[in-house]
Structure 1
Amino acid sequence: MAETIYVRGEGGGIHAMDLPLPEPIQERLTKGMLQRVNEDGSPYNPPAEPAPDDPGHKPGQVPAPGQQVPGLPTTEPAKNAGKAEWVGWAVVKGATPEEADGMTRGDLIEKYGTPAS
């Protein structure tokens, strides 16, 4: 039995969708054009995950680029991540989905990525 999630579309309607999502829907969700919500339309908060068992992990430690952190909605993608991930990151950083999608991957990395040391 597939897991069902709820997605708010561009027009504001709430749609039940079975996982895995079709590729075009997943890409729009990744880019921030669609939003995952609860069935009633309230913001979706993923369940908290336990802290990693890695003995080197310290609470409050800044993640490496592309590293997923439990409890946070997203982290900066790796420099070699696809454009959709960078569009989603730009949206998290304040860009509109349309503005970010109109930029090249290189421009997104330059504007919204952490500068290389």
Structure 2
Amino acid sequence: MTDFREIKEWEKAHQLTVDVYEVTKYFPEEELQGLTQQIRLACAAIPIKIAQGCDRENRSEKVSFLQLAKDSATEVEYYLLLAYELEMLEAVDYDRLVSGVVEVKELLECLIEKLSRNF
């Protein structure tokens, strides 16, 4: 079993989640139960799924959790676009956060490929 805090993919996803929470503090109050909640939950799901995958002994289960994390990252990517287009997110924050999401997705894809090759 691996300590998830030692995994760079988890570290990047965790920092992305912290950044998303910081930025979404400034979303409109009427969105607290809407887009704010959705983007936060989807983003937090990324490091959660990575951590859960670390607890799995079976490689195919690890890969499944990593794929779920990547799927959540895609969801976050969409929510960021939506927030930007609804003018709830500044361009500089949008660019920074999307860059973080893309980096996490690329890291996850590499890790998924590596684990899949070793079956």
Question: TM over 0.5: same fold?
Answer: no
Higher strand share: 1
TM-score (norm 1): 0.26
Higher relative contact order (CA 8 A, sep 6+): 2
More helix by share: 2
